[in-house]
Amino acid sequence: MKENNLERVEQLLKKSLRPSIAGSGPELRRDLWPAMLKRLEARPPALPWFDWALLVAVAAWLAFYPGAIPVLLYHL
Amino acid sequence: MPVLEQPSEVLQQFRRGDLNAFEELFRVHQGEVYGWISRIVRDPAAAEDLTLETFWRVHRAHARFDPAQSFGPWVRRIATNAALDHLRKARPETSLPDNLPSPALPDPSISEDLRHKTARAFGRLPPKLRIAATLALIEEQPYNEIAEALGISTGAVKLRVFRALRLLRKALKRQGIEP
């Protein structure tokens, strides 16, 4: 009984909201690359938080063990 | 949405942050991403903005992309998250504009008032449930594709669709509508 009820809700929903164009779906009408390029130029990618965390960890390590600096420089 | 595959060389270059590789991937996938987002937000203008937002996130995350994986499903998941963020921010009254061009005529078996009330009640459902129900019931997308895009199992998608219908029934009942 309840399942039938939900089926009726489903039918009502399908009748109320149309699907987008059948097949491959809604089509993009313009090339968005110029807009993308503008956005990339306006917002240079920020350094991810884990890169900052790594930088802080390395700095802290070097502050506590300055003797490690030559070892680090050797490996760079 | 068909999954287009790129040569692994392009994917490797993209991972290293090469802008030409990113442009190539953008041009191949922009239409599909736009189509997928349109199905969710049902607003062409918002879908264009969200396509750009998706690729912005893709560009930012290039170092985390695994070239051994497919690019299409990865981008679709990012697009779904961007659309979900948009639905969360949008006011419920305006979150389901249904501005898509459609060849389908309104169903004459229900009144305009009932259609409007149903769409509005549906627009007030939690975005997570609404996305699952929109893609599964209205857009009739395969459950496995929805699951992949949402990063959940097909069982979880079915559960969300079920919960969406149950909440919609409750909302309609409160308005005196007995489906």
Shortest CA distance from B52: residue in chain A: A36
Of A32, A40, A43, the CB nearest to B51: A32
B122 touches chain A (CB under 8 A): yes
With CA atoms as reference, report the closest residue to B96 among B55, B152, B40.
Answer: B40
Does the fold of domain B103-174 match that of domain B8-89? no
Q: What is the CATH number of domain B8-89?
A: 1.10.1740.10
C-beta pairs of B3-6 under 8 Å, 24+ apart in sequence: B3/B70, B3/B72, B3/B73, B4/B28, B4/B29, B4/B32, B4/B72, B5/B70, B5/B71, B5/B72, B6/B71
pLDDT in tens, chain B (179 residues): 444 566 788 999 999 999 999 999 999 999 999 999 999 998 899 999 999 999 999 999 999 999 888 999 999 999 999 999 999 988 665 445 555 555 455 566 778 889 999 999 999 999 999 999 999 999 999 999 999 999 999 999 999 999 999 999 999 999 888 77
B45 touches chain A (CB under 8 A): no
Question: What's the pLDDT tens digit per position in A27-63?
Answer: 888 999 999 999 998 876 666 788 888 889 988 988 8
pLDDT above 70 coverage of chain A, percent: 83
pTM value surpassing 0.90: no
Instruction: Inspect the interface and report whether the beta carbons of B34 and A10 lie closer than 8 Å.
Output: no
Radius of gyration of chain A (CA): 28
CATH 1.10.10.10, applies to B103-174: yes
